[in-house]
Structure 1
Amino acid sequence: MASFTEENYLKAIYHLSSQSDGKPVSTNELADATQTRAASVTDMLKKLAEKEFINYKKYQGVTLTEAGNKIALRIIRKHRLWEVFLVEKLGFKWDEIHDLAEELEHINSQKLTDKLDTFLGNPKFDPHGDPIPDAQGNMPTSGTIQLAKAKCGDSLTIMGVSEDSSPFLQHFDRLGLKLGLNVTLTDISEFDQSLELQIAPGKTLRISSEVAMNIQVSLKKSS
């Protein structure tokens, strides 16, 4: 059994490792992600290693063991299911749900999680477009890329966002963007790599490269 704090660390390790193609996560990366002093992170890593949730060697970074990976995926599954529930059933906005889901994800009831999944119709993705692991920990594939990596002329569909902070989501909304929106990348600035999108006939929108790096899109196939 992992504690509330241990679960948060395992989830943070999973996310950081996923962002770096499975490379070991450094203590400093974890300290930044958890907003904790490096010394405190080291103490927690020792505890997680003793419970065999992680593989840890000083100065060599940390990876999840099979047991740790299962716990991380279970927490992520609950978090994203609760986000779906909060938006679809309780009417919360997508920029209001992260902190609530952070609390709800630690409810330790597999029966509740399974019933929640069934009640919601077994969703594959949360309101931000993030994939939801199934009960066995299998993660559905989205086949998306960063908008910043798309090419000029590409026809795209906005599928998700990789940044779920309230300021970013509110900015996304103010731009008039939404998941499922079809856009065409019409220009990439050589000066600052900002992108121009055609979001409707005769209507274009220019966004910064930083925003584009946090938007996930799929490439529309030619008919």
Structure 2
Amino acid sequence: MRRFSPAPNANRDSRFLSSAGQCARGVRHAGPSLWPRSVSPMSELSEFEEMYLKRLFEAHVDKPSAIVKTTQLAEMMNVSAASTTEMIQRLAGRDLVTHVPYKGCRLTPEGFQQAATIKRREGLIEILLTEVIGFEGDVLEAACKIEHAIDEELELALDRMLGYPERTPSGERIPVIERHLEPMRSGLLLPLSALPVGSTATIELMVMRPTDVRTMEMIGIGVGTKVSSTDEGICSDGSLIELSKTISLRILARTDEVI
């Protein structure tokens, strides 16, 4: 059995951001976005409106019918209660929240679905940045900003490529509400960790440092290598290759057979 694991990344930030914090302030003060705007129905929402929906989702994900107090939501968003009340009324006018005067609000079924989608896209971006790209900056801040530019088509592609993950790097569960699971087929570019058992593929891309690429090549894994996914793991030339989860996500292979 051949084994390979990268050196641990001591700078990785896997903390979960529980308040609006930097991201909310970034939405208000950032300059023109370098990312294309979403073409999905959610593109009609402003980034700040999406932030409110996301915080509401976090506040009562376990109790969707619970009323979130206006003061509580204002603290989560780091804004005044008056501004929060104004936003609640705006979202209520779009049937995304139910406004309970002098108490607070709760998400409507439509609002809950949209908020779940926002959270899922943000979680997928966190995984992409942390475990595939190896980004060492503020992952949560970057994911929060990039999420606003993700449309449904790109979300589906990311979700499929990452193998429909259940949790973010920080351990937060990825919402499954309105999640679309596509059937696997030939010609897909997937990380080794997402190859279905019984499939074969050809490695096309290795997202890692040159030194790691050379190490992988020394054990027979490189661009052009044929691999197969078995119950025991990934095999090449009949040998089982034991790879860490991080490395498995950074080696992308295109499926050869119809699955």
When normalised by structure 2's length, the TM-score is: 0.50
Partner of 1:118: 160
Partner of 1:104: 146
Flag the 1:46–1:135 CA change in 2: closer, same or farther, 3 A: closer
Correspondence list, 1:49-198, <5 A: 49-93=92-136, 96-134=138-176, 136-137=178-179
Q: Give the match's secondary structure for 1:23.
A: coil
* CA–CA separation in structure 2 for the residues paired with 1:75 and 1:116: 14
Q: Deviations over 1:11-32 (max 9, x none)?
A: 1111112366742001100110
Structure 1 range deviating more: 76-85 or 122-131: 122-131
Partner of 1:40: 83
Flag the 1:75–1:86 CA change in 2: closer, same or farther, 3 A: same
Partner of 1:11: 54
Deviation at 1:96? 2.5
Flag the 1:114–1:61 CA change in 2: closer, same or farther, 3 A: same
Kindly indicate whether the alpha-carbon contact (under 8 Å) linking 2:96 and 2:110 is maintained by their aligned counterparts in 1.
yes
Q: Percent identity?
A: 32
Structure 1 range deviating more: 126-135 or 30-39: 126-135
Q: Deviations over 1:193-212 (max 9, x none)?
A: xxxxxxxxxxxxxxxxxxxx
Partner of 1:214: none
The total of aligned residue pairs comes to 137
* CA–CA separation in structure 2 for the residues paired with 1:20 and 1:125: 20
Deviation at 1:137? 4.6
* CA–CA separation in structure 2 for the residues paired with 1:101 and 1:47: 26
Deviation at 1:135? 6.4
Structure 1 range deviating more: 26-35 or 56-65: 56-65
Q: Give the match's secondary structure for 2:68.
A: coil
Mind listing any 5+ residue stretches in structure 1 that lack a counterpart?
Answer: 139-223
Kindly indicate whether the alpha-carbon contact (under 8 Å) linking 2:121 and 2:150 is maintained by their aligned counterparts in 1.
no
Q: Deviations over 1:145-188 (max 9, x none)?
A: xxxxxxxxxxxxxxxxxxxxxxxxxxxxxxxxxxxxxxxxxxxx
Kindly indicate whether the alpha-carbon contact (under 8 Å) linking 1:77 and 1:133 is maintained by their aligned counterparts in 2.
yes
* CA–CA separation in structure 2 for the residues paired with 1:113 and 1:125: 16
- What's the Cα RMSD here? 2.0
Kindly indicate whether the alpha-carbon contact (under 8 Å) linking 1:24 and 1:63 is maintained by their aligned counterparts in 2.
yes
Mind listing any 5+ residue stretches in structure 2 that lack a counterpart?
Answer: 1-43, 181-259
Partner of 1:30: 73
* CA–CA separation in structure 2 for the residues paired with 1:81 and 1:87: 10
Larger RCO of the pair (alpha carbons < 8 Å, separation 6+): 2
Query: Quick check: which has more Rg, 1 or 2?
Result: 2
Q: Deviations over 1:98-129 (max 9, x none)?
A: 10010011114101010011111111111011
When normalised by structure 1's length, the TM-score is: 0.57
